[in-house]
Structure 1
């Protein structure tokens, strides 16, 4: 997991757009217009990938090695997901900050995607509570760099490597309101739990009003039409109660 590209604005005089790729910084005319994942997947009409893709496995392997090595001694942790667009004056921002601090009090590290919004709030809560505040970043063409409250951060080029780290080193997820990236992590976890790839992996959907439409659709369409089973809806807890959320992911409370 050695590197991440992210676009940011350097406020120093005379400097403009720049991206960070692990230890490499690119500014102005050196900024590449595509991300690593885009270059990996862009093979249509070009047979050059047959000569270059095998070498990409070395970079992928390096990201796995760096991630495993960095997080091996992390200890128990909970991943907290949510929108990068959540504003600091949002109730969800405050809730994420409080729950992260409480997780630290319970002896857990807190893992986020390392970006702004809910991720920043959770990292802030964990860091200010004196805990391990992990950021697992990813190169994106539209998101700023690692938030300043991360005290253990790793930058990724590849989404799939990053996903492994989220799941391997977390004992549960708290999923707050968010968009497609949040849904991606949520359904990845639920799929692995449903298929038995991970055992006892508690998931909390925090924000009843936000998640009720999705849960209703799962019940009224997916379950009703036989695409999922009733027990699949028991893989997550929907709540507005911060203490209930903490108790559920840490295994210190009975589900209501």
Structure 2
């Protein structure tokens, strides 16, 4: 297990230094997911160093999956530069360029026959859904604001359950604005029961701190009402699965509170 307080104090130089080399298996994983890109919104610009930063984020998630397999730990947190859950096989959007949690899941499949991705970001993980929508080896589950009122608007509805071999392996739980911790935990328990039935060998948690009631990105459209202390309960509920877990960082835009939110979540998980 890890110490939440220790994780928050790891300096960037301990993760990426001047000698850092992207892992060679990263491109193989990208090819396996058939990743080719075009943008679908104006909120995700391309700059001089964007691709390198996106690759570093993806490499961080893959490294977390590898560490989970070779180190004596139950969970690894990937502090990615960019979020990833809106990126699909051929699209980037929503501040996301490469789908980090999907890559982590794909890497975990090298040792496990089934992996589940549980997305607890405020927004629907539409990219993750699209990548695994026709597959039975990855269960994708997302708790999020109803797309009737917020991004990505066109996906994240409860009747989206997968297609072909993936039928029944995609779970969406859209929640209304103003959702508080009790309603959120109740919905999360329903998702966790679906995960238990699926019986994966490992899970990926796409964690977003934008479910906080003070998050500026969510609040213009209403937002949820989770408080900092509530994230400890969310982390504990996920840890209750007792499965090897990769945690990838997705959203969370209150710079004043995101550190406390993350520490609360990780302390609950630990």
Q: TM-score range by the shorter chain?
A: 0.3 to 0.5
| Structure 1 length-normalised TM | 0.35
| Structure 2 length-normalised TM | 0.33
User: For the pair shown, which has the larger CA radius of gyration, 1 or 2?
Assistant: 1
Give the helix-richer structure, 1 or 2: 1
